[in-house]
Amino acid sequence: MNRRIRTALGVALTATLVTTAAPAPATAHDRRPSVIALPDGFQPEGVAAAGRYAWFGSRATGEIYRADLITGAGKQVSPATGTPSLGLKIDPRGRLFVAGRTAGDARVIDTRTGAVLARYRFAEAPTFVNDVTLTRDAAWFTDSNRPVLYRLPLGRGGKLPSADAFTTLPLTGDFQQTGTGVNLNGIVPTPDGRALIVVQSNTGTLFRVDPATGVTTAVDVPGATFLNGDGLLLLGRTLYVVQNFLNQVAVVDLNRSGTAGVARGVITDPGFDVPTTVAAALGRLYLPNGRFTTPPTPTTPYTVVAVDPR
């Protein structure tokens, strides 16, 4: 192989690697839709994304809907269960972990077949299992009505535990359950992976949680509050906090341990109509509009809005 060909191949390979690691933001020639329609009456809440697809859960029926983020086309992948579907996360094995709201439960769905692989009943009423995050060895769920986290341990190769193998982690320290409204909501790991971060919606406070002890400490973000904080997304050290009724996403630069951060502004969009949570895909952020201020009917339209990160 001569030198000119080797040089050309090296340039091409470098370009490919850079594109894969850091997708370019949308351009004027980008044909991906900025707004994706969901089925009428769907009432979305959670979102999870992988590759060119995103999955959405219905808080009304529990149905799971998959949308193609490039074409906007979609289809039902798991039928209505009667159990709401709120927070969603997908793992590398194509399994969707679903928080079950007032049913006090969670389920795991095969995204290829729609089959329910496992169900877990965490608590009886009053309960509100709201969101979920995945770590190397567990799935963690928040309960907006209780000062606890639920942990599903994952075995070798991601093996799911038996129905009664979850544990309940009481929270102590700075976090205090306040009133009867939504308390704990979104949840993500810290940038270093050693702890968890949760948002308390009705106080606007972020907390760092020690997963071994349940001890919580307020995250120091000077001059910032995260009232109506809903879904959380961590990309590197950047934390995105969806503030649903404020129709905005707060952007915070965290330190590695997640004990402190710097507020970097907010993302807004005219298409926001009480967005609930957020997932990243194809260099964009995707947020379903919960439309909590609009009375739901079988014909009420619902959408997903795509915005550029910052």
pLDDT at 126 over 60: yes
3-class SS letters over the chain? CCHHHHHHHHHHHHHHHHHHHCCCCCCCCCCCCCEEEECCCCCEEEEEEECCEEEEEECCCCCEEEEECCCCCEEEEECCCCCCCCCEEECCCCEEEEECECCCEEEEEECCCCCEEEEEECCCCCCCEEEEEECCCEEEEEECCCCEEEEEECCHHHCCCCCCCCEEEECEECCCCCCCCCCEEEEEECCCCCCEEEEECCCCEEEEECCCCCEEEECECCCCCCCCEEEEEEECCEEEEEEHHHCEEEEEEECCCCCEEEEEEEECCCCCCCECCCEEECCEEEEEECCCCCCCCCCCCEEEEEECCC
Q: What is the pLDDT of residue 209?
A: 98
pLDDT at 11 over 60: no
What's the pLDDT tens digit per position in 236-280? 999 999 999 999 999 999 999 999 999 999 999 999 999 999 999
Q: What is the pLDDT of residue 29?
A: 59
What's the pLDDT tens digit per position in 95-106? 999 999 999 999
| Residue 7 binned pLDDT confidence (cut-offs 50, 70, 90) | very low
Rounded-to-integer distance, Cα 118 and Cα 106, Å = 8
Q: Which amino acid is at 84?
A: P
pLDDT at 20 over 70: no
Look over the chain and give the mean of its residue pLDDT values, rounded to a whole number.
91
- Please name every residue paired with 107 in a beta bridge, in sequence order, or none if there are none: 98, 119
Residues 6 or more apart from 52 whose CB is under 8 A from it? 68, 69, 70, 281, 282
What's the pLDDT tens digit per position in 160-207? 999 999 999 999 999 999 998 899 999 999 999 999 999 999 999 999
Q: What is the mean pLDDT of residues 36-44?
A: 98
Q: What is the mean pLDDT of residues 121-131?
A: 96
Q: Which residue has the tokens 């991906």?
A: 32
> Buried b / exposed e across 239-256, counting CB within 10 Å, b at 16+?
bbbbbbebbbbbbbebee
Q: Compute CA distances 178 → 104, 202, 205, whole Å.
A: 20, 8, 12
Q: What is the mean pLDDT of residues 27-31?
A: 62
Q: What is the pLDDT of residue 82?
A: 84
**pTM of the shown model:** 0.90
What's the pLDDT tens digit per position in 219-228? 999 999 999 9
Say if CB 197 and CB 232 are below 8 A apart.
yes
| Residue 81 binned pLDDT confidence (cut-offs 50, 70, 90) | confident
| Residue 31 binned pLDDT confidence (cut-offs 50, 70, 90) | confident
Say if CB 41 and CB 297 are below 8 A apart.
yes
Strands 215-218 and 172-173, by their bridges, are: parallel
pLDDT at 17 over 60: no
| Residue 4 binned pLDDT confidence (cut-offs 50, 70, 90) | very low
